[in-house]
Copies of this chain bind each other. A is one copy, B any other.
């Protein structure tokens, strides 16, 4: 086997597969998924990641070097020039009759991704190779497509994309534990009275990784009207669950001049748009998930794409749960936080579809949510979906300077720690609202994959920052 010169114009397998007519000569490059051989012929399934399907490459015994080529290892990288011809095999329109095969990079039998089915747990240990598997090829193509769909949705609607800071000195956002970011000598930090002297640190104060871009997005909304973020956020929580990662991507739209009802409407439009985009653009990958990961996935998505989303208040939700006769692990009474079991009961049994629960007790929600006239609840909303529970959390924000200041004090947040946040209530304040969607949570929903580690290229969890 010799290293072949690299012709400039390769054809992506996705494009070859979509050809309307046979092609006399084209060149594909990709990785060998499987090899089957007999005395006179060998078949290579070659995949280049451009689509789910592999292209069947036919090597005939007359091909120069046939004996050696037919021993190509699973995982090898090849370039094949040949004729695209109608395939006699079932389930594929085209195959490539090889005229020349070059091996760009060989693979020995120790290649970890052999044909047998591997567990997701095992594949996590080879996260650098798992994108070459069927499942993770499909996962990361969908992740990319839906990332673009997110930008398209907001840009089409005239929302401005704002990249909010990752490193932040705010520690009062209340969304969770933060990672510290520092350049101080780790073994011998400068101390003053037994405490670290953060004035000596890179930023001159204690800083950490952001848990949300919302507060900064609000600042931009009061200049540009409609804005959104899409970037990484962090939680330093020692949660080894299938739904928690230390690093994940979040989408946070924020709209000036919007109230809670408009916020819900945006969330509904957004979810339906993404689901419809996936159905239209990711059909081959979705078909795989539907067959092998979550039976009925496509029906589920079709239903959500067409559903009208219900709305009920927290107070109504509590009443519905109480009169359900259902026995829950966590008892339900007005004022309690809704648990996952409650959320799923509401969306699956009470409503039978997506539902916004609104107007939660102020004591279980964040300081920045707008106080309702009853002084007991705030203009918050959670969107609950069947099978997953909460997927969006949002609120109308408190735009009244005096009320916000009072709420900060009640919640133990010093108003002087967020002067800029109060400033936008001081000058040119306006009603505004927004929400957050955890991107990986949505991907779990859209693919049926059950562990958040399997939706993230290189996941970060307690004890794991590999790759």
* CB-CB contacts below 8 Å: A371-414 with B: 399
A105 touches B399 (CB 8 A): yes
How far does the Cβ of A249 sit from chain B's closest Cβ, in whole Å? 6
Distance from A175 Cβ to chain B, minimum over Cβ atoms (Å) = 16
- Closest partner residue, chain B, to A187 (CB atom): B196
Complex Cα distance A195/B187, Å? 6
Residues of B near A431 (CB, < 8 A) are 6, 104
| Known interface pairs A231-B231, A458-B216; A6-B257 also in contact (CB < 8 Å) | yes
Q: With an 8 A cutoff between CB atoms, is A40 at the interface?
A: no
Establish whether residues B196 and A179, one from each chain, have CB atoms under 8 Å apart when the complex forms.
no
Option from B147, B165, B225, B246 in Cβ contact (under 8 Å) with A161:
B147
Contact of A467 among B8, B420, B463 (CB under 8 A): B420
CB closest residue in chain B, given A183: B236
Q: Which of A93-101, A198-206, A335-343 is near enough to bind chain B?
A: A198-206
Chain B residues with CB under 8 A of A196? 186-187
Tell me if A365 counts as interface (CB < 8 A to partner B). no
- Whether the Cβ atoms of A425 and B151 lie closer than 8 Å is no
Q: Is residue A66 contacting chain B, with contact meaning CB distance below 8 A? A: no
Copies of the protein in its oligomer: 2
Residues A187 and B194 in contact, CB atoms below 8 Å apart: yes
Identify which of residues 347-377 in chain A touch chain B, using a CB-to-CB cut-off of 8 Å: none
Q: A182-B180, A431-B104, A465-B205 are in contact. Are A144 and B131 (CB under 8 A)?
A: no
Interface pick from A80-88, A166-174, A270-278, A300-308:
A166-174
Give the residues in chain B near A105, CB-CB below 8 Å: 399, 425, 427-430
Chain B residues within 8 Å of A104, by CB: 257, 428-431
The residues of B that contact A131 with a CB separation of less than 8 Å are: 219-220, 223-224
Contact of A232 among B144, B191, B232 (CB under 8 A): B232
Cβ distance A47 to chain B, nearest Cβ, rounded Å: 9
A460 CB-CB contact with B under 8 Å:
yes
Task: Give Cα A147–Cα B137 distance, bound, in whole angstroms.
Answer: 25
| Contact among B50, B224, B426 for A225, CB-based, below 8 A | B50
Given contacts A8-B262, A220-B457, contact A428 B257 (CB under 8 A): no
- Contacting residues, chain B, for A187 (C-beta < 8 A): 189, 191, 194-196
Question: Which single residue of chain B is at the shortest CB-CB distance from A169?
Answer: B465
Bound-complex Cα distance A448 to B189 (A): 41
B-contact bits for A17-52, CB 8 A (1 contact / 0 none) = 000000000000111100000000000000011100
A216/B457 in contact, CB under 8 A? yes
Flag whether A10 is at the interface (Cβ < 8 A). Answer: yes
A418 → B minimal CB distance (Å): 10
A432 to chain B, nearest CB (A): 10
On chain B, the residues within 8 Å of A243 by CB distance are: none
Interface membership of A240, Cβ < 8 A:
no
Query: Given the complex of chains A and B, what is the CA–CA distance between A155 and B112 in angstroms?
Result: 30
Is the pair B162, A179 in contact by a Cβ cutoff of 8 Å? no
For A399, the chain B residues whose CB sits under 8 A away are 105
CA A428 to CA B31, docked complex, whole Å: 7
Assess whether B246 is in contact with A202, with CB atoms less than 8 Å apart.
yes
Q: Is the beta-carbon distance between A161 and B186 smaller than 8 angstroms?
A: no
The answer to whether the Cβ of A12 comes within 8 Å of any Cβ in the partner chain is: yes
Tell whether, in the assembled complex, residue B50 and residue A158 are in contact, meaning their CB atoms are under 8 Å apart: yes
CA A225 to CA B137, docked complex, whole Å:
12
Judge if A256 is at the interface, Cβ distance under 8 Å: yes
Q: Supply 9 further A-B pairs (C-beta < 8 A) apart from A105-B430, A179-B182.
A: A49-B224, A131-B219, A164-B457, A165-B460, A167-B460, A168-B465, A187-B191, A187-B194, A216-B457
Sample of 16 A–B contacts (CB below 8 Å): A49-B224, A105-B399, A105-B425, A105-B427, A105-B429, A105-B430, A106-B428, A112-B427, A131-B220, A132-B428, A147-B161, A148-B155, A166-B247, A167-B179, A187-B195, A203-B246
**9 closest Cβ contacts across the A-B interface?**
A105-B429, A49-B224, A131-B223, A203-B465, A128-B420, A77-B428, A107-B427, A144-B161, A104-B430
